[in-house]
Amino acid sequence: MAQKINQLLNNKPAFLLAFLLVVSLFSGCINSVVDTNVKIPDRKWTYRNHIAAEFEIKDNTKGYNIYFKLRHTAEYRYSNIYILAHFFDGNNKVTKRYQYKLAKNDGEWLGSGSGNVFNYTLPMLTKHHFPKNGKFKIEIEQNMRDNPLVEISDAGILVEEAQ
């Protein structure tokens, strides 16, 4: 097996073809419309620091999944987080409040990660149908009592076609 892999690596045209095939297979599976990740300065998320994503929907007959992405350190003080999500479609603004559980009752973090940092991709809307084709914007703001909310290192928004 190792000999065949070495032959493939030494045969540059065959290796390049295999590499392009693998990349095209993986890129065909990812149907994200927008995927943002914003670093929070000094790990202190203030009320005024909104996380925003602008994107265009070209086919409103399809369903879309919208996620809130979060990364925090082990020193984050709470087992949950509240956010406000503002959805803009050009003329209208709709605001929804979300609460996400980040830890079990015993304090074990639910997010993935290693060491001191924990990652979450949390659902906001699933199989959502946008009312029309066009440009949209989503803004996220933290809605906890603390301002700033400390030990939040990154936040973002992911919009992808539903499968």
- Ordered by start, the domain boundaries in the chain are 1-30, 33-161
Q: Hey, what are 19's tokens?
A: 């590499």
Q: Is pLDDT of 23 > 50?
A: no
Place of tokens 């936040």: 155
Sign of CA dihedral 27, 29, 31, 32: negative
From the options 3.40.50, 1.20.120, 1.10.10, 2.60.120, give the CATH code of 33-161: 2.60.120
Confidence at 27, pLDDT banded by 50, 70, 90: very low
87-137 pLDDT, tens digit per residue, is 999 889 999 999 999 999 999 999 999 889 999 999 999 999 999 999 999
Q: Is pLDDT of 38 > 70?
A: yes
- Predicted local distance difference test score (pLDDT) of residue 108: 95
- Predicted local distance difference test score (pLDDT) of residue 90: 81
